[in-house]
Amino acid sequence: MKAKGIDDLAVFAEKALHATGVSFCTRRHFGRPQPGEERQYIRFAFSGISNQDIKEGLELFGKWIAS
């Protein structure tokens, strides 16, 4: 996120979706962070998606992160 100049996970998720078509869940979807939990995480779900679509999505996401 920092490399993209983004400090809010919700903003990061929205920008990723618009730039790549890839969506994901954030830590907030799975309850409140624990005391002292400082890192932020995302989770991808692959159910019902073809291997080719997964590969394409991860490639797009990786290129966006690297740019």
Write out the DSSP string of 36-67. T-----EE---TT--HHHHHHHHHHHHHHHH-
Reading the chain (67 residues) residue by residue, the pLDDT tens digits are 888 899 888 899 999 999 999 999 987 788 788 899 888 888 898 889 999 999 999 999 999 999 9
pLDDT by residue (tens digit) across 38-57?
888 888 988 899 999 999 99
Please give the mean pLDDT across all residues of the chain: 90
Q: How far apart are CA 2 and CA 7, in angstroms?
A: 6
> What is this structure's pTM?
0.79
